[in-house]
Amino acid sequence: MPLPQERIYTIEDIYALPEGTRAELIDGRIYYMAPPSRRHQDISFSLSRSIADYIDSKHWSCKVYPAPFAVFLNEDDKNYVEPDISVICDHSKLTDKGCTGAPDWIIEIVSPGSRRMDYMTKLFKYRSAGVREYWIVDPEKNRILVYDFAREETGDYTFSDTIKAGIYSDFAIDFSQLNI
């Protein structure tokens, strides 16, 4: 007897979810997301502000988008994510719906329900989609993992460290100075 087929979902299914339901779509599978904690939001806001202030000070055109912001990773209808922070420098990827293709830099802030997704599934998806840099900020473990895919380098830091961004030659974030 054949095994039952697992349903493959599309972006259309994501947009058909009830109002207020947050979910991501990876390889045709829907992953529901819980609302972020206050600390999660504090970290997201502080990091987004630091990055945006740096970009503005340089008068660069890169854009910083905190979640919820749609990223259509593979330019197909089976992959839709909402990274906590997306930095996009190629404006041709931006549409009214979000970003089509890989952002230059993605930061995910780990929540109890997103640990496996952030450390494994998204790490693989972001790398293969062409994201240049991926940070995993884990408040529970006091840890920041930095994957500089462009240089094939990895760094492991704490919330006491200053971390240099790989996509910018003169920008670093001092986590000990963030208001988190």
pLDDT along the chain (180 residues), means of 10: 77 95 95 94 97 95 96 90 98 96 97 94 96 97 97 97 95 92
Separation CA 89–CA 105 (nearest Å): 9
Separation CA 175–CA 180 (nearest Å): 9
- Considering the entire predicted model, what is its pTM? 0.94
Q: What is the pLDDT of residue 150?
A: 92
Among 72, 54, 73, residue whose Cα is nearest residue 63? 54
Q: What is the pLDDT of residue 39?
A: 96
Q: What is the pLDDT of residue 6?
A: 79
Q: What is the pLDDT of residue 59?
A: 92
Q: What is the pLDDT of residue 65?
A: 98
Q: What angle do CA 104, 106, 109 make, to 5 degrees?
A: 170
Q: What is the pLDDT of residue 3?
A: 65
Q: What are phi and psi of 106, to 5 degrees?
A: -125, 140
Separation CA 162–CA 174 (nearest Å): 4
Answer whether 114's CB lies under 8 Å from 140's CB. no
